[in-house]
Amino acid sequence: MSKVIVVTSGKGGVGKTTSSAAIATGLALRGKKTVVIDFDVGLRNLDLIMGVERRVVFDFINVINDGIRLNQALIKDKRVENLYILPTSQTRDKEALNKEGVEKVVEELRKEFDYVICDSPAGIEKGAHMALYFADEAIVVTNPEVSSVRDSDRILGILNSRSRRAERGEAPVRQHLLLTRYDTERVAKGEMLKLEDVLEILAIPVLGVIPQDDTVLQCSNIGVPVILDDRSMAGQAYKDAVGRLLGETIELRFVSPPRRGFMHWLLRRSA
Amino acid sequence: MRFFDFFRRARQDIPSADTAKQRLQVILAYERGSTKGSGPDCLPLVQKEIIQVIRKYFEIDESKVTVDFERGDGISMLEVNIELPNLAGGAGRPAA
């Protein structure tokens, strides 16, 4: 039974595309046939983060509107088996999307893939709505920061009222919190909302906590999903998140400041 | 200078994360409770209808009517201010 999972947030710039790329790659590494779709029509970025920007010929919009076949637009990832990317148009905008067209593509992808990951744009307008409409599950990406939490709350409201499942009265979209850019030292100082605070406010189960990590930028620079970087803490955290998505019980890492040795303490004090 | 920092840190202000949490809890409790026709979305209509009612009995200047809405921790307040025309002479005298 295939699953359609939307990666959404409301707020922009919190890590949806980074997370979509990492999670889709992670699922494929676990042997699941996975496709990740870019819904940010006009401002495409998934292709860049996945490192396939030079291989985009046909896109999602061509399939919906211009009679291009799905397999002409799908890009097979060269590094990871079972992983495919459906890029979107850079020249059109969200008005090019329509429900019937998106539904047709999603249903066709459901037949071929175990997991269909929808990388949503920011906002609550057409693009974001199309991305979440057909979802079975939702990963709500949130930064521990007031605007992001507020916008995530709004998106949760929309998932509960304006998704296809909600409109048809079916079992509700399963929701997961992915807390990104978590800085354990700032949390310890009381400067940053902690995981427990965000959980108390949004009241959905936590899929993962991704630490603030310089490797995220480095990986996007070279076009490699961060989960493929073995040194990366964020990559490790994404691996854990994928495990939990597959039903495994994995203890949360990267939620407390790391224990530093005496030398580190000494060096920090002498500034 | 480090000496003075020590004292300042000892009088710790409320951690900003706690303030963030409180603010979020207040604003989200309110925003989630808002259904169609309630909350500040309907304030222009409230103002319009109040003016209509008052107009039945008094000549008022529309620009002298203000409607304000403030949401707080446990209670929200709707404040309506209407400047009535000078009523000196004639109005409100009970019938003999």
pLDDT per position as a tens digit, A132-190: 999 999 999 999 999 999 999 999 999 999 999 999 999 999 999 999 999 999 999 99
End-to-end CA distance of chain B: 83
- Candidates A116, A247, A253; CA nearest to A176 is A247
Tell me which chain A residues have a C-beta less than 8 angstroms from the C-beta of B39: none
What is the rounded CA–CA span in Å between residue A198 and residue A33?
32
What pLDDT score does A181 carry?
A: 98
- On whether the CB atoms of residues A26 and A239 are closer than 8 A, the answer is yes
Backbone angles phi, psi at A4, to 5 degrees: -100, 120
- On whether the CB atoms of residues A184 and A255 are closer than 8 A, the answer is yes
Phi-psi region of B92 (alpha: psi -120 to 50; beta: other; left: phi over 0): left
Backbone angles phi, psi at B73, to 5 degrees: -60, -55
- On whether the CB atoms of residues A42 and A125 are closer than 8 A, the answer is no
Helices (H) and strands (E) in chain A, counts: 13, 8
pTM of the entire predicted model: 0.85
The minimal CB distance from A190 to the residues B15, B24, B25 is found for: B15
Q: Choose from A153, A159, A199 for mutation: most chain B CBs within 10 A.
A: A153
**B11, two tokens:** 């009088």
Q: Considering chain A, what percentage of its residues have pLDDT values greater than 90?
A: 94
Q: Does A264 touch chain B (CB under 8 A)?
A: no
ipTM of the complex: 0.86
pLDDT digits 0-9 by tens, A191-231 = 999 999 999 999 999 999 999 999 999 999 999 999 999 99
Q: Does A30 touch chain B (CB under 8 A)?
A: no
- Candidates A116, A121, A129, A148; CA nearest to A43 is A121
What pLDDT score does A26 carry?
A: 98
Q: Does A149 touch chain B (CB under 8 A)?
A: yes
pLDDT digits 0-9 by tens, B7-59 = 555 446 789 999 999 999 988 988 887 644 455 677 788 888 888 898 899 88
Q: Are strands A83-86 and B65-71 parallel, antiparallel or unpaired?
A: unpaired
Q: Does A194 touch chain B (CB under 8 A)?
A: yes
